[in-house]
Amino acid sequence: MLSVESLSAGYGPVRALDEVSFEAADGEITAVLGANGAGKTTLLRTISGLVRATAGRVFLAGKDITGRSTEDLPGLGLAHVPEGRGVLAELTVEENLRLGALGGGRRATAEELSRVYGHFPVLEERRDGLAHVLSGGERQMLVIGRALLSRPKVLLLDEPSLGLAPKIVTRIFELLRTLVSSDGLTVVLVEQNARSALSIADRGVVLNLGRVVVRDDADALAGDDALRHAYLGF
């Protein structure tokens, strides 16, 4: 569903991404892992056009989206939940959600909103309140719900577990797994917390210094002790 071919990007003389290639298949969770500064966030930002690619291509459902404006991508089926979550704190919870739907090209229907509230009941309680009162875990739920409302084919998630208690991380990751199974969503999950990520992922890509070190099934990566110690920190 998402195909990245020899993607390179840099900030000035620094090569943040160096010919990165991988595929995220339909209905699978692909984890992108690596140490701090390995280029994981840059990868997502380049895919969604916030950073200009200096070389390479990105294909979404077979369509070349390299170089397209960021704001066109939700309409094409790409949803990106950025580093730091990207909650629009001065808008209400429901307004955040509605924006997600608008990005996908249509207003949110009542049923669609209900479905999201069904996944995250705590959001329904606070639907008319400003988003900035939400806790970290609630914010993460909000931005995932918001992304889902744009009816994406591919969901990019940047470090969703950051700053969250382990119990909440587990809940969110389980939810992701469910959504992927039920909706056929393709997820690209960037994570520092490699252990948790690999526990729900199907495939894994490990980056180091902007380059792909290894691509393999998640189980294989989790089982490779040497690799884990070298690049994943556990």
Partner 1 sequence: MQQLLTTVLTGLTLGMVYAAFALALVLIWRATRIVNFAQAPMAMITTYLALVLIDAGYSYWLGFAVALLSGLVLGAVVERFVVRHVEGKSEVNAVILTLGLFIVLHALAALIFGSRFRSFPAPFGLRGFQVGDTTIALTGFGVFTIVAVAVVLVGLVLLFRGTDLGLRMRASAVNQEVSRLLGVKVGRMLTLGWALAALVGSLSGLLIAGGGLVHPSYMDGVVVYGFVAAVLGGLDSPVGAVVGGVLLGLSLSLVSGYVGSELVPLAALVILMAVLLLKPGGLFAHVRERSV
Q: Is 82 in the site for partner 1 (CB under 8 A)?
A: yes
Going by C-alpha positions, the residue among 226, 218, 224, 225 that lies closest to residue 33 is: 218
Applying CB under 8 A, does 165 fall inside the site for partner 1?
no
In the complex, least distance from residue 139 CB atom to partner 1, rounded to whole angstroms:
7
Number of C-beta neighbours around residue 62 at 10 A: 7
- Residue closer to partner 1, measured from CB, 45 or 203: 45
Is residue 99 at the binding interface for partner 1, with CB under 8 A as the rule?
A: yes
User: Interface with partner 1 includes 85 (CB under 8 A)?
Assistant: yes
Asked if 203 contacts 28 with a C-beta cutoff of 8 angstroms, the reply is: yes
56 binding partner 1? (CB under 8 A): no
Indicate which single residue of 35, 55, 61, 91 sits in contact with partner 1 (rule: CB under 8 A). Answer: 91
Q: Report the residue number, 192 or 208, with the smaller CB distance to partner 1.
A: 192
CB neighbourhood size of 187 (10 A): 25
**Terminus-to-terminus CA distance in the chain, angstroms?**
30
Q: Which of 154, 156, 163, 127 lies closest to 142, judged by CA?
A: 127
Give me the least distance between CB of 40 and partner 1, in Å please.
Answer: 17
C-alpha 14/C-alpha 34 separation (Å) is 18
162 binds partner 1 (CB under 8 A): no
Q: Which residues bind partner 1 (CB under 8 A)?
A: 48, 50, 69-75, 80, 82, 84-91, 95, 98-100, 102-105, 107, 132, 139, 146, 150
